[in-house]
Structure 1
Amino acid sequence: MSQGLDIEALIRLRKQTRAISDALRSQAADYLATLAMLVRPQHLFGEYLQGAPRSSGRETQHHFKEFKELYDRIGSAAPFSLIHELEVPLNLLNTTPELYALEYDLPLAGRTVRVTSPTRWVVGFQSFELERFRKVIKDPNRSNAELYRFVIHYLVLFYCFSKSGGLGRLLLGLRFPVSFERLKEFGDLPFCVISSPVRSSLPDESVIRSATEISGNATFEELVSREDILGMQDDIRQRLLQTVEGL
């Protein structure tokens, strides 16, 4: 998206972006709530999860061993540096998926701008907001117990999504694909990110710089234009065309 600064045009584009983002997020949240039963920590961990019934001993042992290795590698490293042993059984306070804003830092002319994506979201559990997670990590007087709970809940969610190929295929078919990404400030912790079928982008740096100077704060949101909507790709259409062309 390349354009000069036009305050009125930027205001209209921001308003349009917010409306599109709200509609897309609502749709993604609805799909996620409907498919939440496929995020199955009880099934994967069995008796290793507090309150869960016993299941196949060999299978749950395998999943718990893999999860422990994941926790030992990521939890002990920066920025978490946890000395907490993995508690058995795992105690999950909430297993209802929630969408949180995907944010990242953009270095810009000697300052850093915090950018929000209106078309992509991080999946977490309710009550484990991503912004709160950031604050806990940065707090020198943080509670290690709280930090441990955040790490465990996001790792469990990642592990469940990574082991549920059917969930990923369903969301892809609904045009809200899931990817696993690492975010700055969170070390090697992998996050589940849901993307929408519409792409958003940033305008020229001069626009961002001027807009943040006018607003007085170092935050900006990627923008969605009408052309972005018209440029949406239909994966099923593309696959069918490729199938026909191959005959």
Structure 2
Amino acid sequence: MRKAMKEKKDREAVYTITGVVVHGRGIGKHVGTPTANLQMEGHDIALETGVYVSKVFLNCHTYYAITHIGTRPTLDNDKNISIETHILDFDNDIYGCAVTVCLYEKLREVRKFDDLSALMEQVQEDRFLARKYWGLDQTNCALYMDVKRRCAMLGGQEIYLSVNEFGVLYLLYAFPQTTFTKEEIYQKIWREPANDHLHAVENTIFQIRKKLKPYAKEHEYIKTVIGYGYRFYPAQ
């Protein structure tokens, strides 16, 4: 197994890109998945669009990543091809830095998703597959939510949630920059006026935290904003 892992990590890249990290629209960072937007330098060969397992070489360090090459049909109608790389377990400011991105296996084609939440779900799956490709420890992986099976993955473990627990956690997870009041959570998940039922939200949050705690390595995924409500806090 060690030999197979070494052979995979020594695999040659199918293409190498060099360029400078420039400012994008900031949507990735807003939803908890920051990307480095690359401005290419002197490449005449047209790259095949898609989402790739990749490596990033930056300031004498190597990082594992996933790279999107193509348009962004879920977010806008811009037909220009962009190169965006999400570096795993990395959230430093690298604007203006020169980087080299090596592309390895193609994970999937670029496609349009129904909404931003569906796109986020796919990005989490891409991250999971990239870690698996490189043989990385999944125990340090960020929380991944499987919408089809309605469960969460954390620390390599499946965490089964009730219907309302999944709904509440996914609502917070999908909008990590938003703080939701108890009333908002109740109305969105229970689909009725909150009235005097806010204890249901409090109990659901308590149960979610209890189920995540054994695998969260002391990280608190749901933060209480005193005097207001709750928000999701992604692991770095």
TM-score w.r.t. the length of structure 1 is: 0.25
Quick check: which has more Rg, 1 or 2?
A: 1
Pick 1 or 2: higher relative contact order, CA cutoff 8 A, min separation 6.
1
* Higher helix content, 1 or 2: 1
More strand by share: 2
TM-score, normalisation: structure 2: 0.25
